[in-house]
Structures are given as C-alpha cells and as structure tokens.
Amino acid sequence: MLNRRLLGRHGLVALVSFLLTLPFWFGRLNWDPEMRLWRAVGDSAVLLLFFTLAIGPLARLWPPAARLVAWRRETGIWYGLMAILHSLLILNGWARWDWLRFLGYEFIPVLGRTARIEPGFGLANLVGLVAVLLTLLLVATSSNWAIDRLGASAWKWLQYGAYTVFYLVVLHTVYFLFIHYTVSFHRPVPPEPNWFRIPFLLLAASIPLLQIAAFLRTVSRRQRPLTRNPSPASRA
C-alpha cells in the first residue's frame, strides 16, 4: 500500500515535471530543436528546485502551505532527475562527449587549431556540472534508508547542500540568460531575447527573501513569550 502510494506521488510529480517543459518548448519555436529540448528540460528543473526550496519558508509564513511540505522529497528528486537529463542532453547532443568542447574549446579553421572562443562558457558549464554532482548526492540520500544510516543530524546537514546547489544553478543560468548570447558570439544569436529572463530573476530573488522573512517570523514568535512574561528579576 505504501509503495503504491509512493509510486503514485512520484507519477504525479513526473507528470508535472513534463508539463513544466511545455511552455519552454512551445515558447521558443524559432530556436534549434535540439537546443529547445535541453533548455526546456533545464528550465523545468529550475522551477522544481525553486518550488522545493520555497516550501519550507513559505509554510512558516503561511500555515496552509504546510500541506506542501509532504511533497518536498518528491519534487526535490524530480528536480535532480530533470537536471541530470538536462546535462546528458547537452553532453550527448551539443558537446558530443568532448570535454574540450564542453569547456568552450573548438577547432577554428582560420587559425588551424583548437581555441577557446567564449571565455565564460567553460566556467559556466563547470558551475553547472558541480551543481549536478551535488544534486546526485542529494538525490541518492533522499530516502528513509539514508536517514537511518546517516542519522538525522548528519542527513539534515547534507541536505542543506540544496542551498549551495541553488546558488550554483542561479549563477549557471544567469550566464546563459544574460551573457552568453551577445553580438560577439561566434554563432547565430537567437532573434529574440529569452522570455524567461525576468521571471527567472523574480523567482531567484524570491528564495532568499522567503528565507529572510521566515527567519524574522521565527525570531519574533520566540521573543513574544519573553515580552509577555518578564522574569521576576526584570520586574524587580
């Protein structure tokens, strides 16, 4: 019964993950299909990551949102699966499993040698790769078995790495949304700016803002009993 329920929850989140790719796929019809696919999958993963990290602080600020906490593990796992799929699509489709190409080096016929064309490209890809490797660790330990083996304290410390992943993903995505495709780029530039730019910035800013607001709310709640019931020494 439990396994069936778990499979049902994962099936629902998998469906949502697929549906999230559709606006990104159909919203960039003038892009190369291969690029559209890996970007749609990657952007879907970003939304799942942001949702997963927003649930905790949102539940502190708005109690009805606490119902979503039970879905945090499934959305986190499917963020990881979509991020891994995004990486594999790029490695297989664009980089062709060539690590020099992945790092921004290409053979330039005019020069007659391999050269680095876009300086930030390789660094942005490395940042994304580190995020995916950390994500693999988080996905691998997203189970009750891992909690029992590691202990609750160690497991929680490990899962805090999700915030490191968040900042790495933000840096990686900002590069490709705002820096990579410029008039100096050595390939045809997409004719229209990526429409996900502003929504992404708003979503990225919302996570630390929610965390700060939840922190302040928690501190204010803990201080209220002290204010209402001063100690005998303070009354004296």
Query: How do residues 19-43 score in pLDDT, each as one tens digit?
Result: 999 999 999 888 888 889 999 999 9
For residue 159, being part of any structural domain is answered with yes
For residue 223, being part of any structural domain is answered with no
Q: What are phi and psi of 108, to 5 degrees?
A: -110, 110
- For residues 30 and 138, which has the higher predicted lDDT (pLDDT)? 138
For residue 60, being part of any structural domain is answered with yes
For residue 225, being part of any structural domain is answered with no
For residue 73, being part of any structural domain is answered with yes
Which amino acid, residue 213? A
Closest CA to 46 of 66, 23, 69: 23
Mean pLDDT of 149-165: 91
Rounded to whole angstroms, the Cα distance separating 192 from 199 reads 16
Q: What are phi and psi of 15, to 5 degrees?
A: -65, -45
For residue 231, being part of any structural domain is answered with no
Structural domains in the chain (count):
1
Rounded to whole angstroms, the Cα distance separating 48 from 43 reads 9
pTM: 0.88
For residue 229, being part of any structural domain is answered with no
Which amino acid, residue 10? H
Q: What is the mean pLDDT of the chain?
A: 88
Per the structure, the complete domain to which residue 46 belongs is given by: 2-185+194-217
Of how many residues is the chain composed?
Answer: 236
For residue 224, being part of any structural domain is answered with no
What confidence category does residue 108 fall into, taking pLDDT thresholds of 50, 70 and 90? confident
Rounded to whole angstroms, the Cα distance separating 141 from 155 reads 8
Q: What are phi and psi of 115, to 5 degrees?
A: -145, 160
